[in-house]
């Protein structure tokens, strides 16, 4: 059996069609401001994708670049002035931030209503309480991909590899809210040598580690849904965290890398901006 590919682009296109119509019906265009501190080739790629997606949908996108040596206080002041600006619907701070700037303090300075990436503690709290408002984009993207398979969530066995604040942890809560039995693995699971044991049980497997093909094809449960969040450079191509060629012979559904989670993550960002706009203009 060869798995069905979960093409993020196709699912993203449908969601974007709906978003575009929704934006056209708004009295005012939503605006997303992106803050970058210094130059960083990794974030350049994301900024380009964000700008293109925003503009195609009718969202105004503005990039504000601060010089590398900027102090945390100045960055926070900048965020606070954007919080006060009624013309701005969403704020995103590009990571990584330079040494000496605490990203947690910075993310917490963004108004929860303008938190386009869904990383403010208040928004993470809503995810925990089972009432997500602006949820972390990559975790939401993984959920959209799983939902697109039409699977029944209730009582399923899911394994997430990776426990970051933007993917693994919030995704575990989104799955728990749907009564999925959820195991979260991380570095200590790997070091203990028990990753295969956990993964072999997974009817839904999500891997977000950032190590090329760390999950072997032979560990995949027959008929599993496999969401590969990882993006790793291998020579001149990109590969995921899952050994794709072997895994696709066992899985029922699998995301390609690139073209799986990535296109949906940026779409979820756009959806958050539209939802943020609507929350701010509720009356």
Restricting to residues 242-271, which ones interact with ligand NAD according to CB under 6 A?
Answer: 261-262, 265
Restricting to residues 120-149, which ones interact with ligand NAD according to CB under 6 A?
Answer: 138
Residue 30 vs 262, nearer CB to ligand NAD: 262
Taking alpha carbons only, the member of 53, 77, 252 closest to residue 156 is: 252
Contact by Cβ (8 Å): 208, 229: yes
Question: Which residue of 231, 247, 254, 269 would you call a contact of ligand NAD, by CB under 6 A?
Answer: 231
- Pair of tokens at residue 40: 């960083």
Number of shown-chain residues binding ligand NAD (CB under 6 A): 26
Question: Which residue of 163, 198, 221, 250 would you call a contact of ligand NAD, by CB under 6 A?
Answer: 163
Restricting to residues 184-203, which ones interact with ligand NAD according to CB under 6 A?
Answer: 185-187, 189-190, 195
Taking alpha carbons only, the member of 266, 267, 274 closest to residue 23 is: 274
Residue 112 vs 230, nearer CB to ligand NAD: 230
- Applying CB under 6 A, does 107 fall inside the site for ligand NAD? no
- Applying CB under 6 A, does 175 fall inside the site for ligand NAD? no
Closest approach of ligand NAD to the CB of residue 160, in Å: 9
- Applying CB under 6 A, does 170 fall inside the site for ligand NAD? no
Residue 82 vs 270, nearer CB to ligand NAD: 270
- Applying CB under 6 A, does 114 fall inside the site for ligand NAD? no
Stretch near ligand NAD under the rule CB under 6 A, chosen from 13-21, 76-84, 143-151, 159-167: 159-167
Restricting to residues 4-43, which ones interact with ligand NAD according to CB under 6 A?
Answer: none
Per CB under 6 A, residues contacting ligand NAD are: 138, 161-164, 166-168, 185-187, 189-190, 195, 208-211, 214, 229-232, 261-262, 265
């Amino acid at each position: 059996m060869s798995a069905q590919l979960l093409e993020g682009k196709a699912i993203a296109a449908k969601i974007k069609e709906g978003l575009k119509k929704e934006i056209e019906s708004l009295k005012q265009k939503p605006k997303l401001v992106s803050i970058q501190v210094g130059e960083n080739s990794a974030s350049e790629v994301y900024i380009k994708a964000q700008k293109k997606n925003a503009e195609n949908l009718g969202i105004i996108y503005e990039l504000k670049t601060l010089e590398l040596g900027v102090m945390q206080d100045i960055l926070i002041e900048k965020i606070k002035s954007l919080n006060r600006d009624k013309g701005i619907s969403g704020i995103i701070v590009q990571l990584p931030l330079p040494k000496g700037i605490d990203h947690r303090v910075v993310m917490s300075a963004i108004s929860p209503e303008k938190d386009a990436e869904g990383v403010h503690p208040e928004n993470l709290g809503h995810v925990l309480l089972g009432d997500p408002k602006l949820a972390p984009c990559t975790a939401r993207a993984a959920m959209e991909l799983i939902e697109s398979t039409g699977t029944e969530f209730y009582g399923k066995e899911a394994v997430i590899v990776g426990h970051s604040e933007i993917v693994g942890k919030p995704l575990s809560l989104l799955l728990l809210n749907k009564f999925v039995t959820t195991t979260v693995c991380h570095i200590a699971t790997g070091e203990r040598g028990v990753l295969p044991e956990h993964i072999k049980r997974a009817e839904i497997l999500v891997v977000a580690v950032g190590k090329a093909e760390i999950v072997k094809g032979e560990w995949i449960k027959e008929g599993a849904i496999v969401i590969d969040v990882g993006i790793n450079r291998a020579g001149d191509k990109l590969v995921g965290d899952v050994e794709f060629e072997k895994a696709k012979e066992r899985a029922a559904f699998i995301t390609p890398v690139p073209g799986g989670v990535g296109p949906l993550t940026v779409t979820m960002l756009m959806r958050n901006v539209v939802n943020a706009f609507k929350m701010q203009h509720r009356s």
